[in-house]
Amino acid sequence: MKENAIRSLLFVPGDNEKLIVKALASEADAVIVDLEDAVSPDHKPRARQICREVLGARHCNGKPVFVRVNGFDTDHTARDLAAVMGGFPSGIVLPKCEHADDIGRLSHGLEVLEARDGAEIGRTRIVTVATETALATLQLSGPRVDPTGRLWGMLWGGEDLSASLGAQSNRDEHGAYTFPYQYARSQCLFAANALGVVAIDAVYPDFRDLTGLADETRLALRDGFGAKAAIHPAQIAVINQILTPTADQLDWANEVMLLLQDRGVARMDGKMVDLAHKRVAQRMLARAAALR
């Protein structure tokens, strides 16, 4: 999996094979086949089967495929994992992740199934959905480590969190997230960057409003998110375009790298640039290289 190359991750319901194949053929950099909220309880067994078949049928053409299993708040997780791991998904998305221990618990399960299926131990990455409950959001404060080495990214989401908080809405009259959700979003951004994993911005549910999506994606880029999740193929081009460094940004990055080749600080266009700018420049160049 070329990590810096993932800008967009497209969710698709796990019980709809036609849609999964469409998602795999889309321009999304990665696909998340959902076994959780997009699949009703009585469809879960069928969804597991479809997901395993799609993974095994090599429809994926090298596109990273994650599977969102049901969380440890249900009794589905083990069955989901046992059913899909033989298809060697790139990673597992763990929803309702409330404690750092949940990552260890998932990792143990993955290890056993990797051994069962003759896969390299540790190959399956983990993405947590990190802010779905009040407790989960609070737990993101404080020092964290990932002893499993599997964590690839952390996704935040405002929809389940509003249910957990008993909120009537998570956005104001202009469509912007209200403070509790900006807090959760920031918690995810801090925790992901503290761990050195990708901070993934939440889905934009109003999939017909591409202008709103573009604004929200620009905010995500500005603040340091590395990727954004999507629910509809029409959202992918917008996300990919905004999260691809422009020629001007790359010129800037190359100039910063050149100026700071053998010193810590320099003047560029009348302003100071230092190591902090160099890190931003390195991130942009790494992304551009990964996308080539």
> Which of the residues 32 through 91 are near ligand COA (CB under 6 A)?
34, 37-38
Contact between 19 and ligand COA by CB under 6 A: the answer reads yes
Could you say which of ligand COA, Mg ion, none residue 227 binds, taking C-beta under 5 to 8 angstroms by partner kind? none
Task: With beta carbons less than 8 A apart as the criterion, state whether 108 and 150 touch.
Answer: no
H or E stretch covering 165:
helix 159-165
Shortest CB 247 distance to Mg ion, Å = 38
Q: Which is nearer to ligand COA, 91 or 245 (CB)?
A: 91
Q: Which is nearer to Mg ion, 221 or 231 (CB)?
A: 231
Judged by CB under 6 A, the residue of 12, 94, 97, 243 near ligand COA is 12
Shortest CB 19 distance to ligand COA, Å = 5
Shortest CB 11 distance to ligand COA, Å = 4
Judged by CB under 6 A, the residue of 7, 9, 13, 107 near ligand COA is 13
Assign 36 to helix, strand or coil: coil
Q: How many CA atoms lie within 13 A of 194 on its CB side?
A: 13
Could you say which of Mg ion, ligand COA, none residue 160 binds, taking C-beta under 5 to 8 angstroms by partner kind? Mg ion
How far apart CA 155 and CA 146 sit, in angstroms, is: 16
> Which of the residues 217 through 276 are near ligand COA (CB under 6 A)?
231-233
The residue at minimum Cβ distance from Mg ion is 37
Residue closest to 156 by CA, chosen among 197, 199, 194: 199
β-strand 227-230 against 198-201: which pairing, if any? Answer: parallel
- Convert 190-209 to b/e letters by CB count within 10 Å (16 or more is b): bbbeebebbbbbbbbeeeee
Residue closest to 190 by CA, chosen among 154, 151, 229: 154
Shortest CB 92 distance to Mg ion, Å = 15
Shortest CB 87 distance to Mg ion, Å = 23
Contact between 160 and Mg ion by CB under 5 A: the answer reads yes
Q: Which is nearer to ligand COA, 93 or 110 (CB)?
A: 93
Contact between 15 and ligand COA by CB under 6 A: the answer reads no
β-strand 30-34 against 8-13: which pairing, if any? Answer: parallel
Q: Which is nearer to ligand COA, 236 or 253 (CB)?
A: 236
Task: With beta carbons less than 8 A apart as the criterion, state whether 151 and 91 touch.
Answer: no
Could you say which of Mg ion, ligand COA, none residue 146 binds, taking C-beta under 5 to 8 angstroms by partner kind? none
Residue where the block lists tokens 């994993």: 197
- Convert 97-121 to b/e letters by CB count within 10 Å (16 or more is b): bbebebbeebbebbbebbeeeebee
From residue 116, alpha-carbon distances to 49, 88, 146, 153, 236 in Å are 18, 12, 24, 25, 36
How far apart CA 2 and CA 233 sit, in angstroms, is: 21
Segment lying near ligand COA (by CB under 6 A), choices 11-19, 126-134, 249-257, 265-273 = 11-19
Q: Which is nearer to ligand COA, 127 or 260 (CB)?
A: 127
Shortest CB 162 distance to Mg ion, Å = 11
Shortest CB 95 distance to Mg ion, Å = 6
Q: Which residues contact ligand COA by CB under 6 A?
A: 10-13, 19, 22-23, 34, 37-38, 203, 231-233
Q: Which residues contact Mg ion by CB under 5 A?
A: 37, 160
